[in-house]
Structure 1
Amino acid sequence: MAILTAVVAGALIGLSLGALGGGGSILAAPVLLALGQTATQATTGSLVVVGVTSLAGAVTAHRAGNVLLARGAAFGAVAIVGAVLGAHASAAVPEPVLLAAFAGLMLVVAGLMTARQVRSHRGTRRGAHADRPRLDDPILTFSPTFMCQCPRALKVLVTATAVGLLTGFLGVGGGFLVVPALSLALALPMAYAAGTSLVAITITSTAALAARAGTGIAPDWWLVAALTVTAAAGATVGARVADRVDTDRLSAAFTGLVLTVAAYTAVQALPALT
């Protein structure tokens, strides 16, 4: 029964990651919690799910021409420091606090996804494929002369560090922050921001998992494997159908699911905090 639950949940997580460029990974840790893992085990196992799933989605999106590899890699590289710091901080925090933080984060994610849906209804549909953005507009150059678009550079630095901290601390991908950051700070159209975000998430998840190695935290690897395999398959499908399905409806349904899981996690965390 536990394996079956992990399979179904993994498919939902992967579909969201592939089609929406983020959001799905927020469910990986709560699923593992519901299947009997501790908070630290769940967040560690979640990093495996997030990393592998994001990689699978990124490969598929790259083949479809929706990934700007250099920009995604640069964002992920900046986020590595935050990911390592977050991973070490997670081991020093009591589990009830970790659960409460996770419940709060899910409420924020649900709010951001709702706002994104409202903007989507006001703007153009995602199904209209965007023109490929220019690649000759760097934020920082040293040759032939020094040039810095400092406001944009600061946005990237702050957002990437925040994503890294969340990834390391709570075992989430942070796509709900990466996608708008790539769209605003790096001027990527949404069609490219979603696919490119998966590259950054893969890097930060790997860095956070490496930071946790050797800490003695060992989740149930069978559950993690079932969740990971089905999530990776779902991400591949989601990335392929992203331009063919009504992602607004999918996002609305997923927002409701995130709110439900947030309430469940809060119910578990609050009694232990009082």
Structure 2
Amino acid sequence: MTIATVVAALLSGGLIGLILGLVGGGGSILAVPLLVYVVGIGSTHMAIGTAAIAVAANAAASLAGHARAGMVKWRCGSAFAMAGVIGAAMGAELGKALDGKRLLMLFGLLMIGVGISMLRKRRAAEAPDVRLTRQSAGYLLPRLLPIGVGVGLAAGFFGIGGGFLIVPGLMLATAMPLPNAIGTSLLVVTALGLTTAASYALSGLVDWPLTALLAGGGVAGAAAGIALGRRLASRKNLLERIFAAIVIAVGLYVAFGAPS
């Protein structure tokens, strides 16, 4: 492994962790393009397996910070995560069976769709005190579980944490406020990332030294993202729009502009 590769991996991990800590999702959707086009992994499937472990580690680091701030709805997140793990296991098997170039093109199309969806305004009444209890399970679980399976399927198929899908999914299912959805989503990202990573690791599709570098950079990036998020809390909508534009641009390149 060259010095340039080590530096590229550390910086890529830092960027992934920064975005996860800042907005609770989205860093993972950049992980595969970063590994393919910046770090230089030749295999799309190897990039997906390696990214999944790095994303799970980075999400866990960010989760600790949000948990200390009391922003995690543990019961809602756990139910969502358990359903998501089932979907992620199925999605990972489907993804490994698909040709790498076609998988990368579909990944680019997904990025474009996600970026566009991030630009849409959320218009849901918030329920800051929402909790999953015996009384609320009757109406919360029928929302949390199917959305969780769907998000997990996409996360496993594309080897992503799915935070950009989990945050709006949690808000749709429970009406929890955005700060709680961001914190809670990191619990789910960790679980889905580990599920996808286990599937790819069993198939020998993980670059372990590279994973360690990505995770190391991600820990520092996550701490910076959480701190920056507190400073820029009043401008979070602007940050999300800028990030959405970046996701769309990278998606266009991956789907249509990248060399085959």
Q: Under TM normalisation by the shorter chain, which class is it?
A: 0.7 to 0.9
Asked if structure 2 preserves the Cα contact closer than 8 Å seen for 1:84 and 1:165, the reply is: yes
Quickly say closer, same or farther: Cα 1:202–1:170, change in 2 above 3 A: same
- The equivalent position to 2:5 in structure 1, one of 2, 11, 14, is 2
What does residue 32 of structure 1 align with?
35
Q: Does 1:62 align with 2:67?
A: yes
- The equivalent position to 1:231 in structure 2, one of 203, 213, 218, is 218
- TM-score of the pair, normalised by structure 1: 0.83
Asked if structure 1 preserves the Cα contact closer than 8 Å seen for 2:105 and 2:256, the reply is: no
3-state DSSP class of the match of 2:206? coil
- TM-score of the pair, normalised by structure 2: 0.88
Shift of 1:241: 3.5
Identity of aligned residues (%): 35
Q: Does 1:49 align with 2:37?
A: no
3-state DSSP class of the match of 1:163? helix
Unaligned 5+ runs, structure 1: 125-129, 142-147
Asked if structure 2 preserves the Cα contact closer than 8 Å seen for 1:155 and 1:181, the reply is: no
Q: How does 1:203-214 map to 2 (within 5 A)?
A: 203-214=191-202
What does residue 19 of structure 1 align with?
22
Asked if structure 2 preserves the Cα contact closer than 8 Å seen for 1:82 and 1:163, the reply is: yes
What does residue 92 of structure 2 align with?
87
3-state DSSP class of the match of 1:26? helix
* Offset from partner CA, 1:189-208 (integer Å, 9 cap, x none): 11111100100111111122
Q: How does 1:1-274 map to 2 (within 5 A)?
A: 1-34=4-37, 35-37=39-41, 38-115=43-120, 118-119=121-122, 132-135=128-131, 141=137, 148-149=138-139, 152-219=140-207, 221-245=208-232, 246-267=235-256
Farther-moved stretch of structure 1 (79-88 vs 231-240): 231-240
Shift of 1:262: 1.2
Quickly say closer, same or farther: Cα 1:159–1:194, change in 2 above 3 A: same
Shift of 1:180: 1.2
Shift of 1:137: 5.3
Moved over 6 A (4+): none
Letter in 2 for 1:173: G
CA distance, structure 2, for counterparts of residue 112 and residue 131 of structure 1: 22
Unaligned 5+ runs, structure 2: none
CA distance, structure 2, for counterparts of residue 218 and residue 25 of structure 1: 16
Shift of 1:236: 2.5
CA distance, structure 1, for counterparts of residue 195 and residue 252 of structure 2: 30
Quickly say closer, same or farther: Cα 1:131–1:201, change in 2 above 3 A: same
Asked if structure 2 preserves the Cα contact closer than 8 Å seen for 1:54 and 1:198, the reply is: yes
CA distance, structure 2, for counterparts of residue 258 and residue 40 of structure 1: 21
Quickly say closer, same or farther: Cα 1:197–1:153, change in 2 above 3 A: same
CA distance, structure 1, for counterparts of residue 31 and residue 25 of structure 2: 12
3-state DSSP class of the match of 2:131? coil
Count of equivalent residues: 253
CA distance, structure 2, for counterparts of residue 136 and residue 185 of structure 1: 11
Asked if structure 1 preserves the Cα contact closer than 8 Å seen for 2:76 and 2:131, the reply is: no
Shift of 1:159: 1.6
Shift of 1:226: 2.0
